[in-house]
Structure 1
């Protein structure tokens, strides 16, 4: 982690926010954000207790994180609410919200509740060398169920969920550790039932 001039990191953030606005306007995330990563950048996020998404270079970031993963989300908005800059470590944290273009009957947009954000490490030359996103996975899944029930889940997102349900991982999905066996899952379930009964 290297120190950088505060003014340079502030300029990087402004360029990043503008690129995000352009990507939201035309739904083309690779075109506007791809050039903002170093060639050997890493981009990741967690997708459950046993799985991570990982892209290990700019090409994978463009094709997987900004391409395949964003299919079906071209019209979503990701407004940033807070930006925290640490020039001594060359790191930035941005807090954002995930907002669907679909609306409920009351006129409000469907959106993922809770806090989402991105943690960046700057690599110089107005490019990120590392990024980790974080968001409430439980709330994200709940919103997808709600959108599906209302008939408003994008077909591309349905297709991806279907692939995952059939055990076909999307590009960049990696297991953190071996999956728990059926016996281990049943054992854990029984322990939880016992806790629920005797802790009333």
Structure 2
């Protein structure tokens, strides 16, 4: 049995990253990105910020599959998020990947609609009893540019019904969406999620995206969500 505390070598991280890029390509081709959930640890966390008081966080592989690369990406058929540059820090077992957000939708001149600005993902990877996995992920992107591109597509009459349905699914009532004040590190640590918190390198006074919501509020999101868009699509 391998030593789970042994640091990862650069070769191991690069091998894992190559497999991550491969599953991204396969998921994009199939239109079902939920298969990427298997690249996350069972207690992994995945989050990002929509606005100062609207943060997304999925806790555990099931929420990542159902919410982060499920509900959050449904309706974005044909969109692709191509990695253009990767930075690996083997000392800290971290990866930063920069990606482009392209829609697969062409304007009248034949140019593809693209969300401009800087987008990327920051990963922590680690050794688990299932092999090397993503133990936490945090994304960033240009939200004003995202809204601008979506509006351009709609105004041009090129938005498919699946995209229009996806855009109607928003706000704090959607699973995984939290107010900044709902992120409580002390309650998370007391809930048994302390391992995930430690593995994510979370510190008190974080920016909100780095923290986790209290488990009771996670449950509320699951119980209150009675509908979801019918379109299928996800994102990495």
> Partner of 2:96: helix, strand, or coil?
strand
Q: Name which of 8, 15, 26 aligns with 1:11.
A: 15
d(CA) in 2 for partners of 1:159, 1:106: 26
* Structure number with larger C-alpha Rg: 1
d(CA) in 2 for partners of 1:29, 1:163: 19
Contact 2:75 2:165 (8 Å CA) reproduced: no
After TM superposition, the structure 1 = structure 2 runs for residues 100-179 of structure 1, keeping only pairs within 5 Å, are 100-124=103-127, 125-164=131-170, 169-177=173-181
Listed one character per residue, the Cα deviations across residues 48-82 of structure 1 (whole Å, up to 9, x for unaligned) are: 11111100000000000111111111311111110
In the superposition, the TM-score normalised over structure 1's length comes to 0.82
Unaligned runs of 5+ in 2: 183-236
Q: How many residues align?
A: 175
Contact 1:121 1:129 (8 Å CA) reproduced: yes
| 1:163 to partner: Cα distance | 4.1
In the superposition, the TM-score normalised over structure 2's length comes to 0.70
Unaligned runs of 5+ in 1: 179-200
After TM superposition, the structure 1 = structure 2 runs for residues 1-200 of structure 1, keeping only pairs within 5 Å, are 3-31=7-35, 33-124=36-127, 125-164=131-170, 169-177=173-181
Contact 1:24 1:74 (8 Å CA) reproduced: no
Task: Quickly say closer, same or farther: Cα 1:168–1:162, change in 2 above 3 A.
Answer: farther
> Partner of 2:77: helix, strand, or coil?
coil
